[in-house]
Amino acid sequence: MKTSSQLLLTFLLNAVWQVALIAALASFGAWLLRHSAMRYQHGLWVAALCLSLIVPAATAYTTLPAATLSQPEVSGELNLANPLSLPKISSPFAQRPAPPSLSAFQLSREFAFALLAVFGAFLLFRTVTLIQAWFTTRKIRHSTTELAGDDAVGAIVRDCAMRIDFDAANVTVCSSSMVDVPVTMGLFRPVIILPDSLVRAGDEELLTSAIGHEFIHVARHDYVLNFLYELLYLPVSFHPAAALLRRRIKQTRELCCDELVAERILNAQVYARSLVALAGSAPPLRRLSVTTTVGIADADILEARIMSLLSKPKMNRRWKKLLLFAVSLLLLVPSFAAAAFAMRFELAPGVQQREQQEKAITERRRGEVQEREGPAMTEQEFKEKLAQDPNFRREVQRKEEVETEMRAVRQAALLRLARLSMDQAIQIATSQTPGKVLECNLSGERWEEPGKLAKDGYIFYHVVIADENNPGATHVWVNAVDGNIIKTEKELPRKRNPDNQ
């Protein structure tokens, strides 16, 4: 539960600035591409929407909290109190509950859960809205009447399909009284739905413009892609910049269709005139909020669409390729670089949680001490039993042989895996803590089996340094692979007991 909350918080709070950055980069790239074909701008906005989900999600995944290192504990010595028990491989760095990371922002649990509750409520609202739009779309589909017997519509359908090189048999053309403008729907079997009023009017130019535009939607698979974009938009729908990306996708999609209709089906001036008449019959924004269809009136930029049809600026082919490459780099490089500057957010541990952790650690240590000490046996009793009991003596010898063999196997594996020499480790340790080296040994943590480290295992040098000017010694643990200092700990001298002087 804690990990999932941290993932959501990291995703949510990093998305606030990352989505805004991606939208700003896409806006600048679209401005650079303003004189190019509209399909390039459409691809740019689609890529920006995908990045607005991928980058925060990747950021949350890469900032997963890792296990931390705890206080070193030395084991593996011969236990005189219980000599029959085999020694445990030393585990100097036992895994414990990770303390709050120094590089993470701590959020109070109340604020974090309130933020997640608001995000969850908004996400639920957007999901319910999308589901409601889907059912409304299905309701419209059930109200349609197929226009298979209309010769005029059939002729226009065949002509449009021929001009865009598309099989008209794969598309069903219907009419409905529930729509005011032509729309397209259908994930697997595309359906073009025309308003009843448009079919009854019988205007050939309007019908050609409407059917041609919807045929382009079908050929581009815009209905399926639009549904995927809605799903991508859902997790980041709380962000105003994500809403901008979604709106630009809708607008550039219609501009792309307009370009293709004017290029392959109708004259640009004729199509522009028909577009004004068709778009004028659309109720503003009402239909777009309750259906998942795509249609000729999806974008609220009629003036921009007309201007785009009537003015076609040309761009040199070479410059177009260079500009596309530059815009791609402009969007992708900063977007992925933003993950490197991501912020990590964690839940600040409560008082009760800290007390439970401390209690668990205390109980574990008490159990280890009891297990290690076992029943009391003095050294004299141990020697007497060793001399008198042959079975006991054989068990002790067996234990010493196993311990020696395990130590040799571990030592060979450590020497094979260590990339730093002991002298290099000492230099690294003394560069941080100057003084006289009292001891240095090579050890390992998290063994899968004797001689084989686990996937998350590592090896290190334990260096003990004495300072002539200050009492006590300093323990330094140096990673034997990359030379990083794992931990430094100061050991204070023990106070003398006046009664023993």
Cα–Cα distance, 257 to 222 (Å, whole number): 10
Q: Supply 17's token pair.
A: 């600035």
Count of beta carbons in the 10 Å neighbourhood of residue 335: 21
Q: What is the pTM of this model?
A: 0.63
Domain boundaries, the chain: 1-64+101-107+312-342, 131-304, 351-500
Q: Which residue has the tokens 């059930």?
A: 142
Q: Rounded to whole angstroms, how far apart are CA atoms 456 and 434?
A: 31
Block residue for tokens 């009760």 = 352
- Alpha carbon separation from 451 to 12, 236, 406, 416 (Å, rounded): 44, 48, 8, 10
Torsion angles phi and psi, residue 488, rounded to 5: -130, 130
281 with 181: CB under 8 angstroms? yes
CATH no. of 351-500: 3.10.450.40
Other residues' Cβ atoms within 10 Å of the Cβ of residue 471: 11
Can you give the pLDDT at residue 288?
43
Contact 413, 449 (CB under 8 A): no
pLDDT number for residue 81: 44
Query: Tokens at residue 303, please?
Result: 């003036």
Residues 292 and 282: their CA atoms lie apart, in Å, by: 16
What pLDDT score was predicted for residue 21?
94
Token pair in block for residue 245: 């990306």
Residue type at position 321: K
Tokens 């009629």 belong to which residue? 302
CB atoms within 10 A of CB 426: 18
DSSP 164-199: TT--GGG-EEEEESS-SS-EEE-SSS-EEEEEHHHH
> Mean pLDDT in runs of 10 for the chain (501 residues)?
76 90 94 88 94 90 52 40 42 39 64 88 92 89 83 86 84 88 87 88 86 90 92 93 94 90 88 81 51 73 82 69 88 86 67 54 53 56 74 78 76 80 86 85 78 78 82 85 85 58 46
